[in-house]
Chain A
Amino acid sequence: MKPVMISARNVQKSFGATQVLKGIDLDVVKGEVLAIIGPSGSGKSTFLRCMNFLEEYDGGEIRFDDRLVGYRKNTNGKLVKDSAVHVAAIRARMGMVFQSFNLFPHMSVLDNVIEGPMIVQRRKREDAVRQAKGLLDRVGLSTKIDAFPETLSGGQQQRAAIARALAMNPEVMLFDEPTSALDPELVGEVLDVMRSLASDGMTMIVVTHEMAFARDVADRVMMMDHGKSVEIGPPRDIFTNPSHARTEEFLQRVLQRAAPAPLKNPEGVL
């Protein structure tokens, strides 16, 4: 049995009076690639952001490497918010990639990548630079080391953002719709990088609308709707034989958008 990296039990989250996560359970094992799909507004981003406590869940629990995320038991056994330092230490072990890249615009690509290692992990500059150059080479940006983010294409920015996250040697990578802000012709280069990460055995949780990626790369796919996990399973089951009407409707909609041709053979279109 592979060790569980991230586990969620009955995770709930409300914004004001509206509950957007209504009790989600999930176990992600080491080396697994999980794709999360579902209609917009179903709570995918919120759930992902709860995993590194960028969003504070208010019910249930999330564990990372068996450590409770964001909360601790006080001496009376009551759950209280964990200290900022502990939360930061957990976040440092997870990488996150955002839909809008969020590179630091006042820093060169190289400085973006070495910032975390130097400031958070207090590693030596030369050591951080050496690793950063290797990572930037790996994502195909070795010629853009000194460029500023705004001079890069969206695809290049997202690849730089992936390198930045990898520089912390994360144990898990969280992706929140990493290709949704990209022009269609730039989607492939980012997915290629993610594919190679997956084949290297990185544990990945990927919120995505790229159904082909989910089918080909993910070990399991989780379908979310209205703050719930509707179903979860191997891509083959979810895409060809969904057990819920919700999933089927959603896939129909998404696949029609991706390929206007009638869906006689969904597998072929995927």
Chain B
Amino acid sequence: MDYTWHFQIVWDYRMVFVRGAIMTAQITFWATLIGLVFGLPLGLMRRSRILLLRAPAATIIELFRSTPALVQLVWIYYALPILTGLQMSNTVSVSIGLGLHAAAYFAEIFRAGINSISRGQWDAALATGMTYTQAMRRIILPQAVRRMVPPFINEFASLIKLTTLGSALAVYELLHEANNLINNTYRPLEIYTVLALAFAALIFPIIYASQLLEQRWRVRQ
């Protein structure tokens, strides 16, 4: 095969990648925030002994986990305005849609992490006179969070990659910027190669940081 690579073109358009990466990072940031804010209560509700809390949480979580994220985004962007009159911009729709999608997965991570803490820890905390909230905040969560970090990083990395679904709603994230560039330059191979590297550059530091964190906790405990 004698294909001649022309990475010069990519370099000429580097600002397009930077712009796309910033948008990707922004969507990831908001989606993660939404995911955490809704994921923790959802996970706690699903552990509840009260059916009225447990059932809706389980329904929402399984609904978001069992349907494609793309369908969720399209639905929020196109169907929600028809039903509620609430029209959000494409960027906001993607951030919220991915945020709720992430919340479902984060909720399961929270739930599994909390459940992994032995009953003896609850016994000791409650026997001291702590309330449920105090025990959760001071004793259970600090231990559970350490166990949640690896699966959380997995979900986070997958969330970053899911932002490419934004291109379906014409959000100017990395993939959409890259596709536009391909239409102008007819250099798909170079551009997709750099696109892959751009995602790796976003995700790798996070994985690395989580490994450092895990090591530190192993040493300290």
Contacts and interface: CB of A to CB of B under 8 A. Distances in A.
Interface of A: 49, 52, 54, 84-85, 88-89, 91-96, 98, 100, 102-106, 115-116, 119-121, 148, 150, 161, 164-165, 168
B115 interface: no
B129 A92 contact: yes
Interface residues of B, number: 21
A104 B127 contact: no
Interface stretch (B9-17, B34-42, B138-146, B154-162): B138-146
B121 A91 contact: no
B124 A98 contact: yes
B45 to A, nearest CB: 17
Contact of A116 (B128, B132, B220): B128
Nearest to A148: B221
Given A104-B139, A106-B143, A120-B134, A115 B127 contact: no
Contacts of B142: 106
20 contacts: A84-B131, A84-B132, A85-B131, A91-B127, A91-B129, A92-B128, A94-B127, A96-B124, A100-B120, A103-B124, A104-B143, A105-B143, A106-B142, A106-B143, A106-B221, A115-B138, A116-B128, A119-B130, A120-B129, A150-B221
B181 to A, nearest CB: 49
Nearest to B134: A119
B128 A98 contact: no
A91 B126 CA distance: 7
B121 A168 contact: no
A238 B86 CA distance: 77
Nearest to B128: A116
A116 B142 CA distance: 16
Most buried by B among A98, A103, A115, A161: A115
Given A102-B121, A105-B143, A164-B124, 17 more contacts: A52-B127, A84-B131, A85-B131, A88-B129, A88-B131, A91-B126, A96-B124, A96-B127, A102-B118, A102-B123, A115-B138, A116-B128, A116-B129, A119-B130, A120-B130, A148-B220, A165-B128
